[in-house]
Amino acid sequence: MPVKDSDADDQGSAKPVEAAAPRAKRRRSQPLKVANQIPQSRRKEIEKALEDASPTPKKWSRKDGPKYHRFLRKRISPGTVRQIEFDLLDVDIGESWPIPITVIHGARPGPVVTVLGALHGNELVGPLALTYLCGPNLLGEDEAIDPAAMAGTLRIIPVVNLPGYRRQSRYMVDGRDLNRSFPGKPDSNTTSRVAHRLWNKVIKGSDHVIDLHTAAVGRTNMPQIRANLAHRASNRIARAFGIEAILDNEGPKGSLRKLANDSGIGAITYEGGGSNEADPESVQVAIYGVLNVLRSLKILPGYPSRPRFRILASGSVWIRSDQGGLLDVLTPAGSFVEEGETVATVTDPERPGESYDVLTPTRGLLISTATHPFVNAGTPIGHLLPVTRGVKTLRKRLDPEGCLVTSGSDGDPPWREDEDVEDISVIGEWSGGSPDAEWGHNEEGATDDEAGEADPNWT
Ligand SMILES: [Zn+2]
């Protein structure tokens, strides 16, 4: 945990100091740890952003007693759960695409957290995780999230891009990518209108946003967080999520994460699994992570779980095929691979018996692999975090096949303090400017898992 949680009434009584001396500012939170192997320029940016802890907002003060949560012209009483329908489009006739939003308003005041799934309609890990999160047996038999025990407000939107979800497509009906259309305009194209309404009516009033995604068509991701670590509130929840891989970068232009950050809202993107599939491990890790964030923000009672280590990555390395043909990936996403290890083979049906190995250029953690078998020379088939430090620690969490067992996928890890979490830095840059830029286009997929181009044929 980067920040020791501090309650508004946690001031204590400062000892009197000598009259002449200026009163030292009381440090209400522990200094944040920034891994010292992160490139120095980036480290300075992150440290600067984390320097001044802003005080707990007055609106979370518990002195004035419970308050209503005003949302979409509704007044939600403290300690209650409400399900509200929100129209993606504001129309009198025709399709308005109402989507369900569950609001769990705690008995005591606290931060407002919005959790979203399926901004990309065919990414189903978010919808599944959030349906469980709203469900009656989340924390045990007949044990749902209890608003009476909560301090703060949770808004859960399992499926945002409903029209895309119904068509099993990443995009909105006009072929545009909703997660590249923020903040949107009220009088522009359909996707832009939806983005504008979502942002202004639903997201804007949040203190934190957790956006759940999977890889785009043609590839798969091991569970990972993407966050701008130089954004204080985002840094905090990125670590609080409690998993190993954190990719430090600003969100793509037009993405919800970027707009939220620019507006002072803490925002992270979770990526796990692939689109059009329901990878149970990625679903489990998503639920685990959301609960960790809620516990860490003290919205839910209990202690957040923490991983044995975190990889804070500022860049990556790509593994490409040098031949064309059909791909067979041997090391799944999540594998820790050695330099020169064979990660895939390429064969050509017209040349039976001939096979080419694809080797890793360097040692590291494979965070994403291609699932689409057609490759040309130069096609990226794997995305690697080149881990050079902390390898011994990392190895302790590998399964017999050499795959990282993500925290939360194998039950709750033992309790540990944040100081006991080892930070492992990966230095580099994101080729093409963002973690997914090198994937390129295929018919269904998109450049970025977080935000792709509007139309795959549009270049
Ligand atoms: Zn996505």
**Residue 131 maps to a domain:** yes
**Residue 9 maps to a domain:** no
| pLDDT > 70: percent of the chain | 84
Average pLDDT over all residues of the chain: 87
Residue 399 confidence (pLDDT): 96
Once rounded to an integer, what is the mean pLDDT over residues 129-142?
85
Residue 8 confidence (pLDDT): 36
**Res. 36 pLDDT band, cuts 50 70 90:** very low
How close is the Cα of 61 to the center of ligand 1, in Å? 36
Whether residue 140 is found in the same domain as residue 197: yes
Whether residue 284 is found in the same domain as residue 223: yes
How close is the Cα of 455 to the center of ligand 1, in Å? 15
**Residue 428 maps to a domain:** no
How close is the Cα of 427 to the center of ligand 1, in Å? 25
Once rounded to an integer, what is the mean pLDDT over residues 96-120?
97
CB neighbour class for 411 (10 Å; exposed up to 12, middle 13-18, buried from 19):
exposed
Of residues 93 and 7, which shows the higher confidence score? Answer: 93
How close is the Cα of 446 to the center of ligand 1, in Å? 9
Residue 153 predicted with pLDDT over 50: yes
Among 298, 233, 243, residue whose Cα is nearest residue 267:
233
Per residue in 53-78, pLDDT tens? 666 677 766 666 668 889 988 999 99
Long-range contacts of 138-143 (CB under 8 A, 24+ apart): 138/287
Residue 1 predicted with pLDDT over 50: no
How close is the Cα of 161 to the center of ligand 1, in Å? 11
Strands in 56-95 per DSSP E: 69-71, 74-76, 80-87
**Residue 429 maps to a domain:** no
CA dihedral 288, 114, 90, 121 (to 10 degrees): -30
How close is the Cα of 150 to the center of ligand 1, in Å? 30
| pLDDT > 90: percent of the chain | 70
Residue 25 predicted with pLDDT over 80: no
Q: Tell me, what CATH number does 186's domain have? A: 3.40.630.10
Residue 7 predicted with pLDDT over 70: no
Residue 3 confidence (pLDDT): 38
Q: Tell me, what CATH number does 375's domain have? A: 2.40.50.100
Residue 446 confidence (pLDDT): 59
How close is the Cα of 216 to the center of ligand 1, in Å? 6
Whether residue 212 is found in the same domain as residue 174: yes
Last residue of a domain, one of 313, 329, 351: 313
Q: Are 139 and 132 in contact (CB under 8 A)?
A: no
Among 221, 225, 271, 262, residue whose Cα is nearest residue 244:
225
Structure tokens at 158: 């399992």
CB neighbour class for 171 (10 Å; exposed up to 12, middle 13-18, buried from 19):
buried
Whether residue 207 is found in the same domain as residue 239: yes
Q: Where are the alpha helices (DSSP H) in 303-450?
A: 391-395
**Residue 442 maps to a domain:** no
How close is the Cα of 123 to the center of ligand 1, in Å? 6
Whether residue 64 is found in the same domain as residue 194: yes
- 355-359, strands of its sheet edge to edge: 355-359, 342-347, 325-329, 374-375
Query: Using CA atoms, how far apart are residues 449 and 325, in angstroms rounded to an integer?
Result: 24
Whether residue 113 is found in the same domain as residue 236: yes
**Residue 95 maps to a domain:** yes
**Residue 102 maps to a domain:** yes
Q: What domain range is 353 assigned to?
A: 317-419
How close is the Cα of 176 to the center of ligand 1, in Å? 13
Strands in 106-172 per DSSP E: 108-117, 151-157
How close is the Cα of 170 to the center of ligand 1, in Å? 8
How close is the Cα of 378 to the center of ligand 1, in Å? 24
Residue 31 predicted with pLDDT over 60: no
Residue listed under structure tokens 């830029």? 437
Whether residue 140 is found in the same domain as residue 215: yes
Whether residue 104 is found in the same domain as residue 227: yes
Residue 448 predicted with pLDDT over 70: no
Interface confidence, given as ipTM, is 0.99
Which residues are paired to 81 by β-bridges? 104
Q: How many CB atoms lie within 10 A of CB 182?
A: 24
232-240 vs 40-51: helix axis angle to the nearest 10?
100
Whether residue 351 is found in the same domain as residue 393: yes
Whether residue 414 is found in the same domain as residue 265: no
Give the chain's domain count: 2
Last residue of a domain, one of 313, 337, 372: 313
How close is the Cα of 12 to the center of ligand 1, in Å? 45
Whether residue 330 is found in the same domain as residue 288: no
Once rounded to an integer, what is the mean pLDDT over residues 133-157?
89
**Residue 444 maps to a domain:** no
Q: How many CB atoms lie within 10 A of CB 280?
A: 12
Whether residue 214 is found in the same domain as residue 343: no
Residue 412 predicted with pLDDT over 80: no
Residue 421 predicted with pLDDT over 80: yes
How close is the Cα of 444 to the center of ligand 1, in Å? 13
Per residue in 356-385, pLDDT tens? 999 999 999 999 999 999 999 999 999 999
